[in-house]
Amino acid sequence: MNAETYPGKGLSLSQLIFALNQELKRAAYSPSFTFDNVSQFDQDISIALATTREWRNSLLGINRIPLDILSLIPTYLSFQSERLCASSVCRHWRRTFLQRVELWSKLILSNGKTCLKTFLERAKGSALDIVVNHRVAVSTMALLSPHTKRFRSLEFSCNEWTEIQRFSEVNPGPLPLLHVLAIDLADDIDAGTPPPPTLFRNARNLRVLRFHSRRSHSFTCFVFPWLVSFDFSTRPREGFFTSQLLDFLEASPTLRTVRIKVHAEVSFAGVPQGRIVILPNVENLNLTVSDAGPGYKIATHLSCPAAAFTSLTHRKGADNVVPHVIFPASALWSAIVHQHTRSPVEEITLEIKVTLFVTCKLTFRSADATLIELCFEVYDRPVPGFYIPSEDMQKELITQSTRTIRDHPQLAGVKRLRICHSLRSVQTSYIADEVGQLLRSMGPLEELVIHDCDIRPYFDPFPILPEDFVKEPVVFPPIKELTISHPEYLSDEQCKAAILGLARSQHELGTPFGHVVIRKESIPLGMEEELKQWVGSVECCRERLESDYD
């Protein structure tokens, strides 16, 4: 809008008002002045007033915001009805928002035909993101038929197979821009309905498939040759059949990201023991199995030679029943390492947390930064508040985690070991035995980090730890750098005495620490000076431990 000139008249607003006033004066004394003349004057005056008000509105502070910033306002409005309201505030806002076609490109079919038509008009020729809710009329689906070439993503929310197939038939394509397909099947609504033979067969360029189901389904209806990301979750009552998943993955060689969540018993019926599906391009594999028995076994039937990150998670309900298998057994573990890493492991991290939930995590980092992460989680606390696992559960955590580290086929080449655990009710002597077995199995280390732990199991003999409770004393391998960060359950003087005793004993054994780092909220007086006589160098840092709630 030109604020100085009335559109189409070539007059300024003040000139226009003056001219209209003169015309009205002459008309009052002219017998030839008709009703049409008055109507024309009324129309001109209305236009002048609207232009004047629009000009005045443009001078308000809110409308002096730069257009590129003003146009961002609707992006913070979650609902389409809110965006429609925002575009009706004033003409200035309306023009600005209508020029941003991407604001109108998400079409939610449950909003009805009128809203759909409005958004299609405002989206112009931009790519479209379609959301299909439960029980959308076929006539509403049909409005999209002329625009299938512009489909960018399709999301089905709580739909039945029959509804998805109907949409696929009403809008068969072509679908050259469709890159994302998300399907969330309705819970048990279509329990007896099998999936259709094929869906969206013309979506040749589909890149991302997200499929969530409460039942076990075949993947045969999905044939997408260029898929790069697959996100699948299911919780069928009748069990999960691994063979169907393996068949689908084998037919999708271009996959780069695979995320699978299974909350069910896992069946390997029909899967030959030696079957291995090679996924040559997968960079990220995330497999989570809840209450499913041999969930880790799925990973042994996959090989991801190019994977940069492999995460295998075992989730269990909070019932304090100690599982026999927390981490994969030795044979399975060796197969997983062989099939999902490219170079030898150099760094291992053991972390056990008992907070609002229980997590035990093992991370194995290879020389090329490849990561394998094994994780055990306890979920769904039975009562509000903290979940404290039983002593037997905590013992099994430390036993199986240290055993899994010892079973790593490349353990001899490990250079760095990091340990962090917060076991609450396990005897110190029990932890000392497990830690002793772990450290005796390690070769020379460049770095050992003990963080946020009770350090008594690591230092033997310890003044307040009866020696007769420990089967074998803890023996440290040669270590270049030792970091002790925020030790628990000890006074400053006890901590000082323990660390000095350890440093002295390693020195007397002929394997002194090259460098020792102490991180505590308060450093015991004289600790740094006394340590220097037994180690190469010392670094003491006063710092506060950040909790999980900070």
Q: Which of 356, 464, 348, 465 lies closest to 407 in space, CA to CA?
A: 348
Q: What is the DSSP letter of 147?
A: G
DSSP 8-state assignment for residue 480: E
In what helix (H) or strand (E) does residue 24 lie, and over which residues does it extend?
A: helix 13-28
d(C-alpha 83, C-alpha 76), whole Å: 9
Residue by residue, DSSP assigns 291-306 as S-SSTTHHHHTEE-TT
Per-residue model confidence (pLDDT) at position 59 = 59
Q: Rounded distance, CA 500 to CA 534, Å?
A: 8
**What's the confidence (pLDDT) of residue 235?**
83
Q: What is the pLDDT of residue 54?
A: 63
pLDDT at 57: 62
On whether the CB atoms of residues 135 and 162 are closer than 8 A, the answer is no
The per-residue pLDDT string of the chain (550 residues; one tens digit each, 9 = 90 and over) reads 344 444 444 556 567 667 767 766 666 666 666 667 667 767 777 776 666 666 666 656 566 667 667 666 777 666 666 776 776 667 777 777 777 777 778 888 888 888 888 888 888 888 999 999 878 889 999 999 999 999 999 999 888 888 888 999 899 889 999 999 999 887 654 455 666 778 888 888 999 999 998 776 678 788 888 999 999 998 887 778 889 899 999 999 999 999 999 888 888 888 998 899 999 999 999 999 886 555 788 999 999 999 999 999 988 877 767 778 888 888 889 999 999 988 899 999 999 887 667 889 999 999 888 999 999 988 765 555 555 678 888 888 899 999 999 999 889 889 999 999 877 777 888 888 888 889 889 999 999 999 988 888 877 544 444 444 445 666 788 999 999 998 887 788 888 888 888 888 888 888 889 999 999 888 888 888 889 999 999 999 888 877 654 4
The answer to whether 258 and 230 have CB atoms below 8 angstroms apart is: yes
Q: With b meaning 16 or more CB within 10 Å and e meaning fewer, what string describes 300-330?
A: bbbbbeebebbbbbbbbebeeebeeebbbbe
479 has which bridge partners?
Answer: 445
CA-based nearest residue to 133, from 193, 77, 194, 184? 184
What is this structure's pTM? 0.79
Residue the block writes with tokens 């890149």:
207
